[in-house]
Amino acid sequence: MQNLKNKKILFIICGGISAYKSLETIRLFKKENADIKTILTKSAKEFVTPLSIASLSQGRVYDDLFSIENETEMDHIALSRWADVIIVVPATANTISKLCSGSSEDLASSVVLASNKQIFLVPAMNVRMWEHKSTKENLKKLKNFGYKLIGPKIGDMACGEYGMGKMSDPTEILNEIKSFLNIISINKKMRALVTAGPTHEYIDSVRYISNKSSGKQGFELAKSLSKRGFNTTLISGPSNLEIDKEINLIKVETAEEMFKATQESLPVDIAIFSAAVADFKMINKKNDKIKKKNILNLSLEKNIDILNYVSNHNSMRPNLVVGFAAETKNLDKNAQIKLINKNCDWIIANDVSKKDRGFESDYNEVTIHYKNNLKNKEKISFRKKSEIAEEIVDKIVTHIN
């Protein structure tokens, strides 16, 4: 990427002695032709002034959540959507703690909480604060949420101590962001497809065969792919979940409808089949409601296997095909059998027999199996589905780049 022309960067400057470095950071970004807006926290104004920031950035500086002027021009939701990337610099121990708890007490934390864009934290603090267990736990949690860190590094501190916690140099921050946005630009040329949720296979006009899938994992995967720049299509079975407007949402009900929507969405570069498609459907669906007094004998036939079809579609096969295996026993064995039989590249297996994870839960635990290395499997431990989606997409980005 030659420069940052037409790239929108939102800086959030927090209160810390390293705040003065944000001035040089903004100067470098402006030299690269970035479009910059800035939020100053209350404590940050003790170290740098709105005037100095505005002079360097040539952009608007925001500092109060409840300012009528701010909310009229651009509210905190719109501000979070405006940015291509958000940089919190310096990210103090206090800021990290607030973000970890989901605080929204001021404009800075509200924008971060409302954002659907990548957020970079640039930590800067005393070495003892950096090494404190609470800071380590908070950072681990934020990284699982999808936040990315730039630094810190080892060096002399303003307090006179030496160690880890020194803020990264402005040039390092610039290079990290340019590298990230370059990958986003590459990803924008790629198309991703995700299927999610259950399907309904009707018995009569009111009854159907289905399962307990909520679609939550697929929706989170689509959100994460979109955030990384992929042109993302989500084909969803019946679900009340909401999705970002940047994602092309196709709603379907039956396996046949999902199959047709998948065919029409090809070709794509990446396909993730997380939907729990019903294996069977009625041979002859009744057009009217079947009365209870009648004896009900169901004649079923297999639904088309969408994953198998796409994995073996020679002319339209995506570069990366990822399937899901929802199992109740013999998790790894069944996942590897499915991986081989379906001819997909990855299988993501999860145990749906436990109530605290899987179909209807906000949490999950998965294991990724790879076709090109059957002996190698990677486990993503128990955590929120949004966090699992971030880690899976991280692996996808690394794989394709």
The CA distance from 343 to 126, in Å, is: 52
What is the edge-to-edge ordering of all strands in the sheet holding 8-13?
Answer: 61-62, 35-40, 8-13, 85-91, 118-123, 148-149
**Positions of E strands within 158-226:** 162-166, 191-196, 201-202, 208-209
Is 159 assigned a catalytic role? yes
How many Cβ atoms from other residues are within 10 Å of residue 210's Cβ? 16
Give me the numbers of helices (H) and strands (E) for the chain, helices first please: 14, 20
The CA distance from 29 to 24, in Å, is: 9
- Please, is 224 exposed, middle or buried when counting C-beta atoms within 10 Å of its C-beta (0-12, 13-18, 19+)? buried
- Please, is 191 exposed, middle or buried when counting C-beta atoms within 10 Å of its C-beta (0-12, 13-18, 19+)? buried
| Bridge partners of residue 289, in order along the sequence | none
**Positions of E strands within 15-117:** 35-40, 61-62, 85-91
Structure tokens at 365: 């635990």
DSSP state of 239: -
What is the edge-to-edge ordering of all strands in the sheet holding 320-327?
Answer: 248-251, 231-236, 191-196, 270-273, 320-327, 346-351, 363-370, 373-384
SS3 58: coil
The CA distance from 339 to 368, in Å, is: 10
Q: Which of 14, 100, 159, 344 is catalytic?
A: 159
165: left (phi over 0), alpha (psi -120 to 50) or beta: left
Catalytic positions, written as ranges:
159
